[in-house]
Amino acid sequence: MDARLKRGQKTKRKITETAIALFHERGFNNVTVDEIVTKTNTSKGAFYNHFASKHEVFAEQFKQIDQFYVDHLVPQLDAKKPVMDRLAQFLDLQMTYIQNEIGWDVTRTIYEQELSTERSSYFLNPDRPLYGILLDLCQEGIDNGEFKPGYTAHDIVTVLIHAMRGVLYNWSLNRGKISLKDEQRVLFGVVLEGLFRSEL
């Protein structure tokens, strides 16, 4: 059980790379599966053996996004600073990354797919690393009394996630014509103000 599997992985990688490149070049909706399989000298059979749908090619990118948060964003946060600052900084870094590295078309496609598919979505997966990151931060904030009382860590994460979704949805909808960073700053300015004790 090796030679076959190896060949499969190679095909999958070839398809993934070509597809992502094409999507990036001309947009998700302007690239057909037929085109992808032709260009990679494969077939529909090969494509749908490795992916459940055209959308799912993005699952790769998705894991990549969260991995980037864990590997490159979280380490940048200064553990000596208050949770409030770290949270603000994380959100800022996150949105900068999405705006510059992921782009609105990929984001739009992901948001669309999550709504359209019946299958288990990535957004709903409770083991998504992003949730862990936020939960840890929020728990720490609660423990040292930075937040207003009455919220559980889970409440706060829910609030943050909703806010993120709203900003990212809107940004995708506007096809990148508005500044993600600016929108993020305004909304999370308000949200964080509403969450934290304001004593200084």
Partner DNA sequence: ATAATAAAGAGACCGTAGTCTGTAACTAAT
Partner DNA sequence: ATTAGTTACAGACTACGGTCTCTTTATTAT
**121 lies in the binding site for DNA (CB under 7 A):** no
CA-based radius of gyration for the chain? 20
* Closer of 34 and 193 to its own copies (Cβ): 193
How many Cβ atoms are within 10 Å of 64's Cβ, its own excluded? 12
**52 lies in the binding site for DNA (CB under 7 A):** yes
Q: Least distance to DNA from the beta carbon of 24, Å?
A: 16
Q: Cβ-count burial of 61 within 10 angstroms (0-12 exposed, 13-18 middle, 19+ buried)?
A: middle
The number of CA neighbours under 13 Å toward the Cβ of 60 is 18
Q: Least distance to its own copies from the beta carbon of 72, Å?
A: 25
Q: Least distance to its own copies from the beta carbon of 119, Å?
A: 12
Nearest to 154 by CA among 122, 131, 127, 124: 131
Q: Least distance to its own copies from the beta carbon of 55, Å?
A: 11
**190 lies in the binding site for its own copies (CB under 8 A):** yes
DSSP calls for 99-115? IIII-HHHHHHHHHHHH
**59 lies in the binding site for DNA (CB under 7 A):** no
**191 lies in the binding site for its own copies (CB under 8 A):** yes
Task: With beta carbons less than 8 A apart as the criterion, state whether 169 and 121 touch.
Answer: no
Cα→Cα distances 154→134, 150, 190, 196, Å: 9, 12, 19, 15
**3 lies in the binding site for DNA (CB under 7 A):** yes
Stretch that binds its own copies, among 18-26, 70-78, 94-102, 184-192 (CB under 8 A): 184-192
Task: With beta carbons less than 8 A apart as the criterion, state whether 102 and 61 touch.
Answer: yes
Stretch that binds DNA, among 42-50, 101-109, 143-151, 174-182 (CB under 7 A): 42-50
Q: Whats the size of the chain, residue-wise?
A: 200
Q: Which does 94 bind (CB under 5 to 8 A by kind): its own copies, DNA, none?
A: none
Positions that interact with its own copies (CB under 8 A) = 29, 108, 111-112, 114-116, 121, 123-124, 148, 155, 158-159, 161-167, 169-170, 172-174, 183, 186-187, 189-195
